[in-house]
Structure 1
Amino acid sequence: MNLTLEILKAILLGIVQGITEWLPISSTGHMILVDEFIKMQFPAEFVDLFLVVVQFGSILAVVLLYFHKLNPFSRRKSATEKANTFELWSKVLVACVPAGIIGVLFNDTIKELFFNSTVVAITLIVYGIGFILIENQKKVSVTNTLNAITYKEALLIGVFQVLALIPGTSRSGATILGGIMLGLSRTVASEFTFFVAIPVMFGASLLDIVKYSGSFTFAQVLVLLVGMVTAFLVSVVAIRALMKYIRKHDFKIFGYYRIALGVLVLLYFAFIR
């Protein structure tokens, strides 16, 4: 095994993860597809672990960019602001409940049944159409601040997040789409999606590490670290770019991208592979 080559593959996968985790185009779906072509030379169980744990780097990017907004103990916040931050976290946790329960109970079954190119292609197309249809409705936003999100809305967004357990759906895509349908502005829906990702992705990474039956080698640890650091750096750029973009634009471009990619994937695996 060429360790240098595997590190380069980890960097490439980290870049893909960092970009696609926060854009509503499915990070897991892209990671599965990229791995189809570059094929990391590690046991399949470790590759599956890598594709999940590399997301931890993306989580750290959210923590860095929104540390003040997420920190309920900041000395720069008033008592009211601290209380609002605690309330925001409680809503984030409520939103995590549905996917947390389904993920723990059916994680292995979902991976066995749905982690394949056909499912990824179909979900890319279906949710791409969904984004275009929702944006064409020009629904008026009634929730324009994070504090205005209700516990009911948080729970319903969590239900939408369950859909993202199927690869190709996009966790951010499902929750942003759900948020917009519930009347959240694009900015609020996106930021709440970022925050909900913290416990969800941390839990998924920790669960896979605990369940990993192999013993980590030096090469595996190095590749994991390289992938996570790359995902972290790229995520910082991707999040900033997305938030700047949606101030003036809608999500339809991502819908068109998803449809085009889904069709290409179906054609590739049907006629070329």
Structure 2
Amino acid sequence: MTTSGRSTANVAVPSKQSAKLSPWGVSHPTTALAPPRGGATGSKLDRFGPTVDVILSKLFPAGFAWQLASSITKADPSSASFALTTGLGEATGVLGGHILYSIIQGAMTKTSVDMDSTIQTAALLATGTICSGCSWQPVVNALQSMDLPFYAVFAGTWIACTFAFNFGLRVARNLYSASMDAVEEPTFDNGKSDFHLSLTIGAATAFFVATDSAYKPAENFLLNVVGISDTDSVIKACLLAGLSTALGFGVAQTLFNILFPVGKCWID
């Protein structure tokens, strides 16, 4: 005797969630019933979740760590030692923030995390950050020494740090791709993606300029949002610094999320 009902012989049973790591370390939980966020099959709205991931895991820690390093070092802000210390501090924030966030995200979503890929991606991004982080203070010093308007310093820093970060990424790809499976070798396509990402990082460094409340405060349109004063505590200064880089990246990436066709943005 046969029984009626739906046969399960050929029906795929959804597997447990696994963490799919994008080239930029945005963890996308996927199942057989739910495609990854973003990409050619997603929508523009799908980009905003990964955008928040990147802000929390890398952009806020970057600004926070740069400011913390600047408060610890005794070096003069015009010295190479200061630039190197703060750049390494910022890179440490990106490296540690990415790894820690991935672990926490995996625990909260009950997904497995490929630590090898996570660490390798963190190393790639941290290398780019060393270049932009070490460049930031010398670039700002040079532009401010010319008594340029705040907007010119803002724009000049954006441009300079965009190219500095992109340079670091491309060098890192050449150095790491041979031994790190998670780091793709340099190609024309990832060259475009790298530069688009670098533009958003440049925006973060530009907004970071606004933390200097002493330089042309009347022109600083972000003074009341992220301006750091001499009377602020170290922790408050670090929080404001992290907010500035998070805000800069968030504004630029939001524009990218809206303007780029699906499948064409670096975050897809």
- Which has a greater percent of helix? 1
TM-score (norm 2): 0.30
- Higher relative contact order at CA 8 Å, sep ≥6: structure 1 or structure 2? 1
Between structure 1 and structure 2, the one with the greater Rg is 2
TM-score (norm 1): 0.30
